[in-house]
Amino acid sequence: MATIISGKEVAAKVRAEIKKDCEALDEMGITPGLAVIIVGDDPASRVYVNNKKKACEEVGFVSEEYALPAETTQEELLALIHRLNGKPDIDGILCQLPLPKHLDEKAVINAIDPTKDVDAFHPSNVGKIMIGDYDFLPCTPAGVMELIHSAGIEVSGKNCVVIGRSNIVGKPMAMLLLHENGTVTICHSRTKNLKEICAAADILVAAVGKPKFVKADMVKEGAVVLDVGINRDENGKLCGDVDFDEVAPKASFITPVPGGVGPMTIAMLMKNTLKAAKLQNNL
């Protein structure tokens, strides 16, 4: 039976360390500030934005919410971002995704000052990650790596399989595992023999976006299983991309949903915001 890695607990430790750092900045008259933009009223996005604001409050950052109506134009949204780029008390800027479909996500990401890009979605930050010389790591992959480290798991030389190839999770996740000398395979909707490839993984990261997609026959005995998914099951209950009840008995380590990768995503956002505040102040 697997050891459950509690993202909830690890995230609380990370936030406590950030809070200490923030108190040290406070003595220099610096308070990290995060601007969170939300467009429209998607209920999941509302929950995520609230989680981010609450975390800011806990660690001692100032957060500013910019809640824009769903009808906001591209020009209005870009104008807000430009204003925040020039606002000295704002160190980090994020625009909650997905955006209503009349808005251009790529243009929005490109508009954010890379030194304030705490999601690390701007092409210049993505490029830096690829080289291994970065200021910010994307929050979810960084959170997964922290969970791996917290459990004392060695990545070097391991067979790592990432299911999912999004720009936000799958691709950067593969890159971070590669930086730690994992042998990395990325699987996706066109992958042949997905089951066999997953079943050969020592470290399996599920970022598919399908409830309980990973079944016991896709997991090697003793594998480490990290579940990035946030879905609702047939009863409307939160569940991951991994069928936890089936897979947990086979795995050596597994992350739950909720309380696994999710809280780490938020903790890593705080880490990036702290870093951004240090960068803005030449520290």
Q: Which residues are catalytic?
A: 52, 96, 119
Among 27-35, 66-74, 127-135, 263-271, the segment contacting ligand BQF (CB under 6 A): 263-271
**With binding defined as CB under 6 A, does residue 121 bind ligand BQF?**
no
- Say how far residue 116 (Cα) sits from the centre of its chain: 16
**With binding defined as CB under 6 A, does residue 257 bind ligand BQF?**
yes
Instruction: List the structure tokens of 197.
Output: 């490839």
Task: Evaluate whether 34 touches 5 at the Cβ level (below 8 Å).
Answer: no
**With binding defined as CB under 6 A, does residue 138 bind ligand BQF?**
no
Q: Which is nearer to ligand BQF, 182 or 211 (CB)?
A: 211
Size of the site for ligand BQF (CB under 6 A): 10
Interface pick for ligand BQF out of 38, 109, 262, 275 (rule CB under 6 A):
262
Interface pick for ligand BQF out of 214, 243, 263, 277 (rule CB under 6 A):
263
**With binding defined as CB under 6 A, does residue 100 bind ligand BQF?**
no
Among 149-157, 188-196, 218-226, 251-259, the segment contacting ligand BQF (CB under 6 A): 251-259
Give exposure, 99-121, as e/b (b: 16+ Cβ within 10 Å). beeebeeeebbbbbbbbbbbbbb
Q: Which is nearer to ligand BQF, 25 or 230 (CB)?
A: 230
Helix or strand holding residue 185 (H, E) = strand 183-187
Which residue, 167, 97, 87, 82, is CA-closest to 125? 167
CA distance 239 to 226: 13
Q: Which is nearer to ligand BQF, 202 or 241 (CB)?
A: 241
Which residue, 160, 189, 192, 188, is CA-closest to 175? 160
List the interface residues with ligand BQF, window 203-242 (CB under 6 A). Answer: 230
Task: Evaluate whether 72 touches 103 at the Cβ level (below 8 Å).
Answer: yes
**With binding defined as CB under 6 A, does residue 31 bind ligand BQF?**
no
- Provide the 10 A C-beta neighbour count for residue 132: 10
Q: How many helices (H) and strands (E) does the chain have?
A: 10, 11
Q: Which is nearer to ligand BQF, 100 or 178 (CB)?
A: 100
Q: Which residue of the chain is nearest ligand BQF when measured via CB? A: 262
**With binding defined as CB under 6 A, does residue 14 bind ligand BQF?**
no
Which stretches of the chain bind ligand BQF, using CB under 6 A?
Answer: 48, 51, 230, 257-259, 262-263, 265-266
